[in-house]
């Protein structure tokens, strides 16, 4: 049994590539095994094996027709029959694609009660990287109905999935929320669906965009799982005293969150994050909160609405 690999571009002439040279092609290989020809096997006679094999691979490649912009890989397997001929099968045709940056968004909800306590709503991750350790709420920006999600729209989805928090943009800001990539401040309403309080007017406050840390590296792919993430602070101010038990009812862990981590720095140890850049974001969120301490969230909300 012989396995061989060929390279082609835009349906042009295929050439054989040795296994040692595959890495030189650089772009990442993307398999497309469900789009092969109906007829994936052929017979190549021994006296004309190399020539007929090349014709077979060329015809299979041209017939496939779904060429990638960076070129394509055709992998075949040939077995010598008792007659001396070779039965050849196309194992896959894969399009080469340059690795694209993977973007994410993270959010830090913080409940600020009437006594001045600040409760940060964090999670313990269910999966690697950082499995079982404290992390921020967040996830990948996705393509939805041909549109690339903005960080704010991503966070609306992730907050609902991971901690059961509904974030609703106001009608006046919906366009910015879903179509503008970076919104410095935007008024929102959070829906808690609890007896103590149902809805709170507040705003999403942009921190900045962060390069991800080493935990996101995938050495075997020579790429990162996530390259950059955009982080927002979400202060939720209530006019009564809050306890951790109360917050455990307000929020629920789901999706990538194994369980909640409610942190009050006045009484709890500083959180030890399992992903390095989450710790950097958290420190920036603390600094941002300090700049807001002399101005109520209600005042900020009114100022933001007036600026629209």
Same domain assignment for residues 56 and 129 = no
Per-residue pLDDT at 223 exceeds 90? no
For 169-197, what is the mean pLDDT?
Answer: 87
Lowest mean pLDDT among 81-95, 110-124, 229-243, 276-290: 81-95
Per-residue pLDDT at 111 exceeds 50? yes
Handedness of CA 281, 282, 283, 288 (dihedral sign): positive
Same domain assignment for residues 162 and 233 = yes
31-51 pLDDT tens trace:
655 555 556 788 887 878 888
Same domain assignment for residues 179 and 280 = yes
122-158 pLDDT tens trace:
999 999 899 999 999 999 999 888 889 999 999 999 9
Per-residue pLDDT at 297 exceeds 50? no
Which range of 34-38, 57-61, 204-208 scores highest in mean pLDDT? It is 204-208
Q: Where residue 300 falls among pLDDT bands split at 50, 70, 90?
A: very low
Same domain assignment for residues 148 and 222 = yes
Same domain assignment for residues 133 and 78 = no
Same domain assignment for residues 181 and 270 = yes
Which range of 10-24, 40-54, 138-152, 269-283 scores highest in mean pLDDT? It is 269-283
145 Cβ contact list (under 8 Å, min separation 6) = none
Same domain assignment for residues 146 and 269 = yes
Same domain assignment for residues 73 and 27 = yes
Same domain assignment for residues 29 and 172 = no
Last residue of a domain, one of 44, 73, 97: 97
Last residue of a domain, one of 47, 73, 97: 97
Written as six digits, the tokens of 166 are 């509904």
> Which domain CATH number covers 254?
3.90.79.10
Q: Where residue 2 falls among pLDDT bands split at 50, 70, 90?
A: confident
- Note down the domain range covering 176: 103-307
Instruction: Give residue 301's pLDDT.
Output: 45
Q: Where residue 197 falls among pLDDT bands split at 50, 70, 90?
A: confident
CB atoms within 10 A of CB 292: 16
Number of domains forming the structure of the chain: 2
- Tell me the pTM: 0.73
Instruction: Give residue 149's pLDDT.
Output: 93
Handedness of CA 125, 129, 130, 136 (dihedral sign): negative
DSSP string, 157-207: HHHHHHH--EEEE-GGGHHHHHH-S--SEEEEEEE--SSS-SEEEEEEEEE
Per-residue pLDDT at 196 exceeds 80? no
Same domain assignment for residues 67 and 168 = no
Same domain assignment for residues 18 and 85 = yes
- Taking the chain, what is the end-to-end CA distance rounded to the nearest angstrom? 69
Same domain assignment for residues 92 and 108 = no
Last residue of a domain, one of 65, 97, 129: 97
């Amino acid at each position: 049994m012989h396995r061989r690999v060929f390279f082609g571009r835009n349906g042009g002439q295929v050439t054989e590539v040795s296994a040692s040279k595959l890495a030189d092609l650089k772009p990442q290989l993307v398999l497309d095994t469900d789009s092969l020809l109906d007829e994936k096997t052929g017979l190549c006679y021994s006296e004309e094996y190399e020539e007929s094999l090349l014709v077979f691979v060329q015809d299979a490649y041209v017939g496939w027709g779904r060429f990638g912009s960076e070129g394509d890989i055709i992998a075949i397997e040939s077995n010598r029959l008792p007659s001396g001929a070779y039965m050849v099968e196309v194992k896959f045709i894969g399009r080469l694609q340059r690795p694209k940056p993977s973007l994410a968004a993270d959010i830090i909800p913080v409940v600020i009660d009437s006594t001045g306590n600040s409760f940060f709503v964090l999670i313990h991750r269910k999966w690697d990287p950082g499995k079982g350790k404290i992390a921020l709420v967040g996830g990948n920006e996705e393509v939805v109905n041909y549109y690339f999600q903005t960080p704010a729209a991503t966070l609306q989805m992730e907050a609902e999935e991971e901690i059961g928090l509904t974030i609703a943009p106001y009608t006046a800001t919906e366009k910015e929320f879903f179509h503008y990539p970076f919104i410095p401040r935007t008024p929102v309403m959070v829906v808690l669906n609890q007896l103590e309080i149902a809805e709170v007017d507040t705003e999403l406050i942009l921190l900045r965009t962060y390069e991800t840390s080493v935990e996101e590296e995938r050495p075997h792919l020579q790429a990162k799982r996530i390259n950059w993430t955009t982080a927002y602070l979400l202060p939720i101010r209530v006019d009564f005293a809050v306890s951790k038990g109360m917050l455990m009812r307000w929020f629920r862990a789901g999706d990538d969150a194994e369980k909640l981590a409610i942190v009050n720095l006045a009484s709890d140890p500083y959180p030890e994050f399992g992903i390095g850049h989450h710790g950097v974001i958290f420190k920036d969120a603390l600094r941002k909160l300090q700049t807001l301490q002399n101005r109520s969230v209600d005042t900020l909300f009114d100022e933001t609405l007036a600026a629209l």
